[in-house]
């Protein structure tokens, strides 16, 4: 399977197509999905750079993978205090950007 990719400022970004790491660790056999950005109902596709940054294709939010939260309706993995899983259950696994400085 060939993923969409592009280069920006010397970084190559690839469309993120994965399973939830928590589900994988639990041994659940779930389908991979394209991850989408959930902040402010953006719903842009998420790309991962060869430098470890994630980038939203619509709003342009970009930061290191460690600054994002995974929202997964399959395993109820949600470490976000501001979002319920009911909001994402119809759309599959999503990512939410975090601002650790606020």
Q: Please report, to the nearest 10 degrees, the dihedral formed by the alpha carbons of residues 61, 94, 44, 55 taken in order.
A: 30
Per-residue confidence (pLDDT) for residue 28, from 0 to 100? 81
3-state secondary structure 39-78: HHHCCCEEEEECCCEEEECCCCCEEEHHHEEEEECCCCEE
HSE at residue 67, side-chain half, CA atoms within 13 A, is 15
Which of the pair, 76 or 85, is modelled with greater confidence? Answer: 76
Encode pLDDT of 25-54 as tens digits. Answer: 888 887 888 888 887 778 888 999 999 999
Please check the confidence at residue 55 and state whether its pLDDT lies above 70: yes
Find the mean pLDDT for residues 66-95. 57
């Amino acid at each position: 399977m060939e993923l969409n990719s592009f280069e920006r400022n010397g970084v190559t970004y690839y469309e993120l197509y994965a399973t939830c790491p928590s589900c994988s660790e639990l041994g659940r056999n779930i389908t991979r999905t394209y991850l989408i950005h959930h902040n402010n109902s953006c719903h842009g596709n998420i790309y991962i750079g060869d430098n470890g940054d994630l980038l939203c294709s619509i709003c342009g939010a970009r930061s290191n993978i460690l600054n994002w939260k995974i929202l997964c309706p399959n395993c109820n993995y949600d470490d976000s205090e501001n979002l319920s899983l009911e909001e994402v259950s119809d759309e599959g696994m999503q990512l939410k950007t975090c601002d650790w400085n606020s």
